Amino acid sequence: MASDGKTTAIRDQQQPHFLVLPCPVQGHINPMLQFCKRLKQEGARVTLVATRFCFNNTFQNLPSSIAIDTFSDGFDKGGVEEAESFKAYFDTFEEVGSETLGELIEKLASSGNKADGIVYDSFMPWVVGVAKRFRLSCASFLTQSLAISSVYYHLQKKKLDIMKMEKEIQLPGLPLLEPDKDLPSLVFAHQAHPVLFDVLLAQFSNLDEVDWILCNTFDELEKEVADWLKTIWPKLRTVGPTVPSMFLDKRLKEDEDYGLNLCKNEDSCLKWLDDKPKGSVVYVSFGSMSNIKETQMGELAYGLRDCDSFFLWVVRDYEESKLPKDFEKKSEKGLVVSWCPQLKVLSNEAVGCFLTHSGWNSTLEALCMGVPMVAVPQWTDQSLNAKNVKDVWKMGMRAQACEDGIVKRETLKSCIKEVMESEIGKEMKRNAIPWKASASKATDEGGSSQKHIQEFVESHHHKFVGMDKTESSSVTNCVKDLSCPKPDLLA
């Protein structure tokens, strides 16, 4: 029998309602948007909360199943580009964001749509104070790997001294690391980007105050470091990989893409790929925020032109001028585009190798599609991701840069040949198969990440069970009554 509107409203009120706040950058929005879809799958109500500028310029193609609301970062007209400096942006974001997020929480409560918890991007640790003010549960969402999170944690807690590092260092659950080669670039160049370095470390400044720590990875992929981190963060749960369901477990039938792109759509490359033999194409992309030196761009161009494989290369519009003048954007051998649907490209059987900057999202996507990689890390966490690709997961090569930081064309050609043609390359492809299966298993029914998301939702849902109308109303109005004790949100 169909339920009436009143019954539906009561049921909706009994579903926990989460506000999900990503940092306004595509590489952070995409994984948290996917997490929203998984929360809904487990019976939660979700509101994705975006800055006003980000909403007006980004969320035009957001899936209709995801509710969205906005708050201000203090730069509604231009976002970070409107700020006079990176520091000014983050300082204002905290000040204005704390106030306008509080106003949003009050607005939702007064309209009968009270939030029960906040999931915030770990780059925004000030959200913890807002959640406490309104007595909401609070979860930090780590968009990078657990390996890199462990390194930053050790630095933030001063358990790792930059000035006293040996030639090799050993951190719990991680492989032996060469500091100048494997650690995040900002560890040794933090004076060049002091604000960003402070943001990276600040993620771990107040994790002892949150109710949950969620990470975009899965247990099987980073088992050793996950096990160790859980000894210091018992609230840690892995919830990834946050890749659209139809590329993994296929439990969400309409989830075929992120549903959000800051760049124009351009699918012409898919037809080009379909005409190429299986495993014959090198796919090349350096992420949505690439900033490649002109010298490096030239080495990439000539290395790809002279290698023995076809290539599909994503070059952002703002970087096209860095291409050599004699380099053809479209030839019998290669195609250069300004954007492509990366997951569809990686899942195309024509692709045999991914030449990548080793950003965490791209690394996870290649792993989920079972595509071996040639890693050309640029900065921040990418060196450690490349280390794991080569030495831990054993499904790729790392192209070594020269002293000037440039990877030469001969090195690129050699790495591509190794992955595409050698016996070692065939072994990498074999190693990729079980990782692909493990990623899908983690998000499938009964998988590690699925169970963790279910646990997270049910820990909030249980407080509604057995409530009569009066009790439910009391919870709805709790945000306005400072004498109301904070409910026990964890099972």
Q: Catalytic: 121?
A: yes
User: Strand 137-142's sheet: what is its strand order?
Assistant: 67-71, 45-51, 17-21, 117-121, 137-142, 212-215, 236-238
Q: Catalytic: 28?
A: yes
CA 50 and chain centroid, separation: 16
Are 237 and 214 in contact, with CB atoms under 8 Å apart?
yes
Residue 269's nearest CA partner among 330, 319, 317 is 330
Q: Rounded to 5 degrees, what angle do the CA atoms 330, 333, 339 make? A: 50
Q: Is 336 helix (H, G, I), strand (E, B) or coil?
A: strand
Catalytic residue among 17, 73, 116, 121: 121
Residue 486's nearest CA partner among 140, 478, 212, 139 is 478
Are 364 and 356 in contact, with CB atoms under 8 Å apart?
no
φ/ψ region of 272 (left if φ > 0, alpha if ψ in -120 to 50, else beta) reads alpha
Catalytic residue among 17, 28, 190, 357: 28
* CA trace torsion 101, 103, 105, 109 (10° rounding): -170
Rounded CA-CA distance 398/351 in Å is: 18
Residue 193's nearest CA partner among 204, 205, 201, 182 is 201
464 Cβ partners below 8 Å, 6+ apart? Answer: 13, 14, 15, 16, 472, 475
Residue 17's nearest CA partner among 445, 463, 447, 444 is 463
Active site residues: 28, 121
